[in-house]
Structure 1
Amino acid sequence: MIPEKDQEKIKIPNNERVPEKDPLIRRRGPALDLFRGRRVMHFENGTGFQGGPSRRKGYKLALWSWFASMIDCLILISISSIFMAAFSFLMRTDFGALIGSVTQNQHRVILFLEVFALCAWAYMIVVRSVLGSTVGEWACDLRLGQPQERLRANYILRVAWRSTLILITGLVTLPVLSLILGLDLAGKISGLRLFSLK
């Protein structure tokens, strides 16, 4: 309640009477004086707003999924580079010599690609299981599964199955087919679809 000495300072002209129905507006104060003379809006009956955000589907969703994969790939390459630098430090070798030996020796290239694929598989499963999306999917407003699906006990197994499907097809085949057909094929096969928040 406002003290009587301050109530004298706040004067409301007769033509701008505040409706006495609303208890929030009845209490007059400096902050509520800003809204004096405005219509009181009631939202109980709805506002007539029927539309919502248009969700990305089909080809748009597939393209955004590719963009999210590119972001995740850059993150994985940077993590792999950090691990290679740490490995060269532990082995007391020059980082440039280590990179040169990897590119010259075919067996080391295959080993590096296998380790990279294994790290990508683990990254996709762990981060999606904990957060519901990878960093790239989060940046592109994509989520794997509905919120109620993430609470189920078999969510981690379905994430692992989806990631394994993509890895088995060579990381390219299934996403390219999804892009051509405008469908989330990995989601249809695994039962865990990718959803757009926009």
Structure 2
Amino acid sequence: MMRIIFATGNQNKVRECHEILDSVADEIISMKDAGLDPDIAEDGDTFEKNAMIKAEAVHKLAPDDLVIADDSGLCIDALNGEPGVYSARYMGKDTSYDIKNANILERLEGVPKEKRTARFVCAMAAILPDGSSFTKTGVMEGYIGDHAEGQNGFGYDPIFFVEPQNHSTASLSPDEKNAISHRGKAMRAMAEELKKRLDK
């Protein structure tokens, strides 16, 4: 029986993982559900490095399971790529995303739409029980709107808008978002690679 431990405490991410990776594993659980709480220092300078740091920390505690981890963030061109790898820690880890989003909108006030380009990036790392590992990365291009909208997403979703809908990713249904999202793309690439390696 193949069990995937997702090195996250974010149940929204676990739900998205179920929607895409259920065909690969018999069970998908968070590290919290697995009773694991490693001290992880995300000090990598790329999304890929941080994802692998998380995966390795959990793999050491659960070497018989397939461990996956992600690191994702928002990169805004007009802000020189901020918040980037610091997306979760931007303005402080315990600061609400309502405050973070309001701050970004304020910093971009007066910037025209064509210069508000941005992208969500998600890197996913996997470590198999045999110790082999790989990463896959997905990107979703869009722009920062001039207001927040939508109730379906989390994090920066309410201010990240996509074409051709011209709506925020927080306004899309879960299926619509998964079809185009950075995490959806990375997870589908991860699923394909795992199927090859596990001969599913």
Could you say which TM-score interval applies, normalised by the shorter chain?
under 0.3
Relative to the length of structure 1, the TM-score reads 0.24
- Over alpha carbons, which structure has the higher Rg? 1
**Larger RCO (CA within 8 A; separation ≥ 6):** 1
Instruction: Give the alignment's TM-score, normalised by structure 2.
Output: 0.23
Relative to its length, the structure with more strand (as a share) is 2
